[in-house]
Amino acid sequence: MPYQPSLNSVHVDAALTNFSVAYVQSEDAFVAGQVFPVMPVEHKSDKFFTYQLDAYLRAAGAQVPYGTEAPRGGLVLSTDSYDVGMPKRWAQDITPDIRANADAALSDIDQQVAAQVMRALLIGREVDFVTNYMSTGVWGTDMIGGTNFTVWSNQAGSDPIYDVDTGKTTVLQNTGMEVNTMTVAYNVHQALRRHPLILERIKYGGGPANPALVTPQMLAAVFEVERYIVAKSVQVTSAEGQPITTGFVVGNDVLLTHSARSPGIMTPSAGFNFVWSALTGVNNLGIAAYRYPMPQLGIAANGATERVEGTYAYAMKVTGKPLGYFLHAAV
């Protein structure tokens, strides 16, 4: 037969210019910025006024005639403080040879590096959220699955609606404030979606062509809270260079809180995220990314080494311990 070129001889494999694969988590997977309000601050540390719990919960007044002194009382004021501490920083360098040798699919390498830097900081913030807020010993009440209540993965023996109602009652009775936010781990959310007591509540909300779906909005209605937040963030748990293992950042836990939607005078909230916005100067979230030259690390015809650095400056502060109710190991 006539000589024919082979398939491999007429094409040299190269990287696609319009396609690549990267595991970039959506920002809505992270709950650290959703549960409690952000309080932008000018300084690394400062104080704020607090009112004694009974200041606005105690009954008063007595029948006394005019011409005599009325019974009197007063406000008991104290102060608390926040301290941002050292800002969190993370950086990555782009050297001239990397920039010059990058394929077309990596032409936006600066944006890709910035996204990696900021996602690393967001995951770190999520880990801090668990340490500061979704742990035992933090809130007014801790309930342990298997000890204080039946775990919700036991569909036949558990009653998550009763357990949450108990928490809501506890917070209301102790503070006069209602739980308005329920934050759950992803595995907990999945267990609730399958729980027969939940399905029984919503089964009449759909039909053959439009089946009832157990959505976060539906669960917020079932548990009678304003916000039902699902923690979906994932982190690598293995050391760099080792086989990759992953896990959810938030364990199988549930946090019930009275959370203010925004900071203000005389505003109660189980927690606030104090962010040092004056340091970053870019926004009121205390987070920023910068790109700056590092010629001491290498310079070439196409420019100097550039560093992309992210900075996050925040303090996660419990400001109302009795305004939180924690269910640990719920599934």
- Res 218 pLDDT > 60: yes
Q: Are strands 141-144 and 246-248 parallel, antiparallel or unpaired?
A: unpaired
pLDDT at 244: 94
Over range 96-107, report the average pLDDT: 85
pLDDT at 9: 63
What pLDDT digit, counting tens, does each position of 38-86 carry? 999 999 999 999 999 988 888 988 999 999 999 988 888 999 999 999 9
Which residue, 275, 62, 253, 227, is CA-closest to 152? 253
- Res 33 pLDDT > 70: yes
Higher pLDDT, 132 or 20: 132
* Rg of the chain, C-alpha, whole Å: 27
Q: Are 152 and 191 in contact (CB under 8 A)?
A: yes
Highest mean pLDDT among 3-7, 200-204, 265-269, 299-303: 265-269
What pLDDT digit, counting tens, does each position of 160-217 carry? 999 999 999 999 999 999 999 999 999 999 999 999 999 998 877 655 556 678 899 9
Two tokens at 192? 């609730």
Q: What is the set of domains in the chain, with CATH numbers?
A: 27-54+73-328 (3.90.1690.10)
- Res 110 pLDDT > 90: no
Over range 118-122, report the average pLDDT: 91
Torsion of CA 107, 111, 116, 121, to 10 degrees: 170
Lowest-confidence segment of 2-11, 90-99, 110-119 by average pLDDT: 2-11
Torsion of CA 253, 257, 262, 265, to 10 degrees: -140
Q: Between the CA of residue 239 and those of 117, 230, 243, what are the distances in Å? A: 18, 27, 8
SS3 160: helix
Higher pLDDT, 277 or 12: 277
- Amino acid at residue number 163: D
What pLDDT digit, counting tens, does each position of 269-283 carry? 999 999 998 887 777
**Separation of alpha carbons 80 and 96, rounded Å:** 49
In 21-165 the beta strands, taken as DSSP E runs, fall at: 38-41, 45-51, 77-83, 88-94, 141-144
DSSP H stretches of helix in 86-195: 96-101, 109-132, 160-175, 186-194
Q: Determine how many CB atoms are found less than 10 A away from the CB of residue 185.
A: 25
User: Within 13 Å, how many C-alpha atoms sit on residue 240's CB side?
Assistant: 0
- Res 134 pLDDT > 90: yes
Over range 103-108, report the average pLDDT: 80
Q: What is the mean pLDDT of the chain?
A: 90
pLDDT at 288: 85
- Res 326 pLDDT > 60: yes
- Res 5 pLDDT > 80: no
- Reported as type and span, the H/E element at residue 326 is strand 324-328
Q: Determine how many CB atoms are found less than 10 A away from the CB of residue 101.
A: 9
pLDDT at 166: 98
